[in-house]
Protein backbone atom coordinates (compact mmCIF):
# COMPACT_ATOMS: atom_id res chain seq x y z
CA UNK A 1 0.00 0.00 0.00
CA UNK A 2 1.40 3.37 -0.99
CA UNK A 3 0.51 6.73 0.54
CA UNK A 4 1.33 10.07 -1.04
CA UNK A 5 0.49 13.60 0.07
CA UNK A 6 1.22 16.31 -2.45
CA UNK A 7 0.16 19.76 -3.59
CA UNK A 8 -2.50 19.22 -6.26
CA UNK A 9 -4.40 21.06 -8.95
CA UNK A 10 -7.21 18.46 -8.71
CA UNK A 11 -9.67 20.70 -6.89
CA UNK A 12 -12.56 18.43 -7.92
CA UNK A 13 -11.10 15.49 -5.95
CA UNK A 14 -10.52 17.73 -2.92
CA UNK A 15 -14.06 19.10 -3.04
CA UNK A 16 -15.53 15.61 -3.33
CA UNK A 17 -13.74 14.55 -0.13
CA UNK A 18 -14.73 17.74 1.68
CA UNK A 19 -18.38 17.32 0.71
CA UNK A 20 -18.32 13.70 1.93
CA UNK A 21 -16.90 14.65 5.33
CA UNK A 22 -18.21 18.14 6.02
CA UNK A 23 -21.56 18.21 4.21
CA UNK A 24 -22.69 14.57 4.36
CA UNK A 25 -21.21 13.56 7.74
CA UNK A 26 -21.13 16.80 9.71
CA UNK A 27 -24.11 18.59 8.20
CA UNK A 28 -22.24 21.71 7.10
CA UNK A 29 -24.35 23.62 4.55
CA UNK A 30 -22.92 23.30 1.02
CA UNK A 31 -22.88 27.07 0.59
CA UNK A 32 -20.65 27.42 3.68
CA UNK A 33 -18.25 24.61 2.77
CA UNK A 34 -17.09 26.03 -0.57
CA UNK A 35 -15.85 29.62 -0.73
CA UNK A 36 -13.91 32.02 -2.94
CA UNK A 37 -10.63 31.14 -1.18
CA UNK A 38 -10.64 27.77 -2.95
CA UNK A 39 -9.67 29.53 -6.18
CA UNK A 40 -6.41 30.93 -4.77
CA UNK A 41 -5.56 28.41 -2.03
CA UNK A 42 -2.86 25.77 -2.22
CA UNK A 43 -4.57 22.36 -2.02
CA UNK A 44 -3.02 19.12 -0.76
CA UNK A 45 -4.40 15.70 -1.61
CA UNK A 46 -3.62 12.43 0.14
CA UNK A 47 -3.79 9.33 -2.04
CA UNK A 48 -3.78 5.76 -0.75
CA UNK A 49 -3.03 3.47 -3.68
CA UNK A 50 -4.25 6.22 -6.06
CA UNK A 51 -7.54 6.65 -4.14
CA UNK A 52 -8.20 10.09 -2.58
CA UNK A 53 -8.45 9.70 1.22
CA UNK A 54 -7.71 13.15 2.63
CA UNK A 55 -7.27 16.80 1.77
CA UNK A 56 -6.42 20.20 3.20
CA UNK A 57 -5.89 23.69 1.89
CA UNK A 58 -3.53 26.51 2.75
CA UNK A 59 -4.31 30.19 2.29
CA UNK A 60 -1.24 32.42 2.48
CA UNK A 61 -1.79 35.92 3.88
CA UNK A 62 0.98 38.23 5.03
CA UNK A 63 3.27 36.08 7.24
CA UNK A 64 0.65 33.42 7.96
CA UNK A 65 -0.26 30.10 6.36
CA UNK A 66 -3.91 29.44 7.27
CA UNK A 67 -4.50 25.68 7.14
CA UNK A 68 -8.11 24.70 6.65
CA UNK A 69 -10.68 22.32 5.21
CA UNK A 70 -8.68 19.41 6.66
CA UNK A 71 -10.50 16.11 6.29
CA UNK A 72 -9.85 12.38 6.16
CA UNK A 73 -12.39 9.80 4.97
CA UNK A 74 -13.84 7.43 7.60
CA UNK A 75 -11.91 4.40 6.34
CA UNK A 76 -8.57 6.20 6.81
CA UNK A 77 -9.20 7.68 10.26
CA UNK A 78 -7.07 6.40 13.10
CA UNK A 79 -4.20 5.54 10.76
CA UNK A 80 -2.07 8.62 11.39
CA UNK A 81 -3.05 10.13 8.04
CA UNK A 82 -4.47 13.29 9.63
CA UNK A 83 -1.15 14.02 11.36
CA UNK A 84 0.77 13.37 8.14
CA UNK A 85 -1.57 15.71 6.26
CA UNK A 86 -1.00 18.52 8.80
CA UNK A 87 2.77 17.91 8.75
CA UNK A 88 2.71 18.15 4.93
CA UNK A 89 0.85 21.48 5.17
CA UNK A 90 3.39 22.80 7.69
CA UNK A 91 6.26 21.75 5.41
CA UNK A 92 4.68 23.52 2.42
CA UNK A 93 4.24 26.63 4.59
CA UNK A 94 7.85 26.51 5.81
CA UNK A 95 9.05 26.53 2.21
CA UNK A 96 7.03 29.65 1.35
CA UNK A 97 9.09 32.85 1.57
CA UNK A 98 8.02 35.20 4.36
CA UNK A 99 5.75 32.75 6.17
CA UNK A 100 6.53 32.65 9.91
CA UNK A 101 3.54 30.84 11.36
CA UNK A 102 0.81 28.33 10.62
CA UNK A 103 -2.70 28.98 11.89
CA UNK A 104 -5.89 26.93 11.87
CA UNK A 105 -9.39 26.87 13.29
CA UNK A 106 -9.77 23.57 15.11
CA UNK A 107 -13.05 21.92 15.92
CA UNK A 108 -12.93 21.81 19.72
CA UNK A 109 -12.97 18.01 19.87
CA UNK A 110 -9.74 17.99 17.79
CA UNK A 111 -7.70 20.45 19.89
CA UNK A 112 -5.67 17.67 21.56
CA UNK A 113 -4.78 16.26 18.14
CA UNK A 114 -3.39 19.61 16.96
CA UNK A 115 -1.60 20.25 20.28
CA UNK A 116 0.36 17.02 19.75
CA UNK A 117 1.50 18.51 16.42
CA UNK A 118 2.83 21.66 18.09
CA UNK A 119 -0.15 24.02 17.76
CA UNK A 120 -1.25 26.22 20.67
CA UNK A 121 -4.80 27.42 21.36
CA UNK A 122 -5.60 31.12 21.56
CA UNK A 123 -8.77 33.18 21.62
CA UNK A 124 -12.33 32.23 22.50
CA UNK A 125 -14.55 29.43 21.26
CA UNK A 126 -16.52 30.47 18.17
CA UNK A 127 -19.07 28.88 15.87
CA UNK A 128 -18.07 28.00 12.31
CA UNK A 129 -20.79 26.28 10.26
CA UNK A 130 -22.59 25.56 13.53
CA UNK A 131 -19.58 23.72 15.05
CA UNK A 132 -17.51 24.97 18.01
CA UNK A 133 -13.94 25.95 17.02
CA UNK A 134 -10.85 27.52 18.60
CA UNK A 135 -7.99 29.19 16.76
CA UNK A 136 -4.58 27.58 17.05
CA UNK A 137 -1.12 28.70 15.92
CA UNK A 138 2.32 27.18 15.44
CA UNK A 139 5.49 29.23 14.87
CA UNK A 140 7.51 28.06 11.87
The set of residues, in sequence order, having a beta carbon less than 8 Å from that of 7 and lying 6+ positions away, is: 42, 43, 44, 92
SS3 91: helix
Q: Which residues of 107-118 are buried (b: 16+ CB within 10 A; e: fewer)?
A: beeebeebeebe
Domain 3-139 has CATH 3.40.630.30: yes
Q: What is the pLDDT of residues 78-136, one digit of tens each?
A: 999 999 999 999 999 999 999 999 999 999 999 999 999 999 999 999 998 889 999 99
Q: What is the pLDDT of residues 2-41, one digit of tens each?
A: 999 999 999 999 999 999 999 999 999 888 899 999 999 9
Amino acid sequence: MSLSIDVTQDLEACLKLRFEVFVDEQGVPVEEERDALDDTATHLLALQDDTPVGTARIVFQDDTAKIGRVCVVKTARGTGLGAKLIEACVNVARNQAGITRAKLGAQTHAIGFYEKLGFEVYGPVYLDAGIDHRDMVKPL
